Structure 1
Amino acid sequence: MAASDELSVVFAALADPTRRAILSRLRQGPTTVGELAEPFSMSRPAISQHLRVLQNAGLIERTTSAQWRTCTLRTEPLNDASVWIDHHRGLWNERFDLLDERLRELKERSSDG
């Protein structure tokens, strides 16, 4: 999969507030699926679907040991997304700075005239 396609999958996974809440919970460490599901008023199949999306995006790893299914946060895709955002933030900031400069020039010309 191309890097931009991987980013699309990561950003799509992050677009949902439930999935972001799951990732926030996993920052504290590996957690069972049952513990992840507790704060949400949705069915286990719905939680499983969210976990599948996160796993497909590479944001979590799911393991099974006996009857326990555990999820662990994987930060690599988040790092890749952060690099992309930081790069583009720099470009956007440059453009806004140029726009500010241009607007100042136009304002000065209109005050002088």
Structure 2
Amino acid sequence: MSDSPEKVTALQQLAQLEQELKEAEEALAQWQEYDFNRRDGSGAQDRRHEERGERLRNAVWSARQAVDAQKRYVAQLPLCKGAVMSTSTEKAAALPRLHRSSLTPRESLSVLDSCSF
């Protein structure tokens, strides 16, 4: 059983979005660490610092939204487009691939249920 080209592309995009989310979260964590240890500066410095923090928080939020949307998109794509899984063994064999795709267990089962048996 192989994934359709559309599914492969969607999973690659999901991996890219997850990497972007990780990088955004790391940047925010670094800013928060700096924020915790920094001393107050001038009003303009404080304002720029807070604006940077807000931009980083917004970037994390946007990245999470993109990952969630891509997960929903991947979940609605049939895992076995053009193929038929005839046994529960085949269904079980597909689970590790779904796990690597970062879908929740419920989303994984939803994808598997879209296949014909």
TM-score range, shorter chain: 0.3 to 0.5
Higher strand proportion:
1
Q: Which has the higher helix share?
A: 2
TM (norm. structure 2) is 0.32
**More relative contact order, 1 or 2 (CA 8 Å, 6+ apart):** 2
TM-score for the superposition, normalised by structure 1? 0.33
